[in-house]
Amino acid sequence: MAFSKKTRQEAITKIQNEEMDLLVIGGGITGAGLTLQAAAAGMKVAVLEMQDFSEGTSSRSTKLVHGGIRYLKNFDVEVVSDTVSERAVVQALRHIFLSQIRCYFLSTMMKARQRLICFL
């Protein structure tokens, strides 16, 4: 069912009369990610959102997917490993909801350039 202001009441009535495998409270990035994974696993999922989807923190996000390199600064190797693993999942699904953009790093400091090259 497509979701819009016009179909809101119909959607509410429908989920009241159907049994769901999972009810997700919140339509932000976490709720959307959970909903995607559960639906991809074949579960019947409903999402309840108080306002509009991506209305809160999600609407103010940069929408960039990073590789976790910033955590290396504090030697959080486990976090980097987890981030890289999750990024691989996102990369596998990128054709669904991502587009690639070019990023440029400009620096006049040689040390900063050398550090960047080390991670590329």
In the chain, domain spans: 1-61, 65-120
| Mean pLDDT rounded to a whole number for the chain | 76
Q: How far is CA 118 from the centre of its chain?
A: 27
- Quick: pLDDT tens for 49-60: 877 776 676 666
Backbone phi, psi, residue 78, to 5°: -65, -40
The upper half-sphere exposure of residue 12, i.e. CA atoms within 13 Å in the direction of its Cβ, equals 9
Distance separating alpha carbons of residues 84 and 112, to the nearest angstrom: 22
Determine which of 45-49, 70-74, 93-97 has the lowest per-residue pLDDT on average.
93-97
Q: Which H or E element spans position 110?
A: helix 110-119
What's this model's pTM, rounded to 2 decimal places?
0.47
Instruction: Classify burial at 57, counting beta carbons within 10 Å of its beta carbon; exposed 0-12, middle 13-18, buried 19 or more.
Output: exposed
Helices (H) and strands (E) in the chain, counts: 5, 2
Residue 36 pLDDT greater than 80, yes or no: yes
**Highest mean predicted confidence (pLDDT) among 40-49, 82-91, 105-114:** 40-49
Distance separating alpha carbons of residues 44 and 22, to the nearest angstrom: 7
For residue 90, the model assigns a pLDDT of 76
The confidence band for 9, taking pLDDT boundaries of 50, 70 and 90, is confident
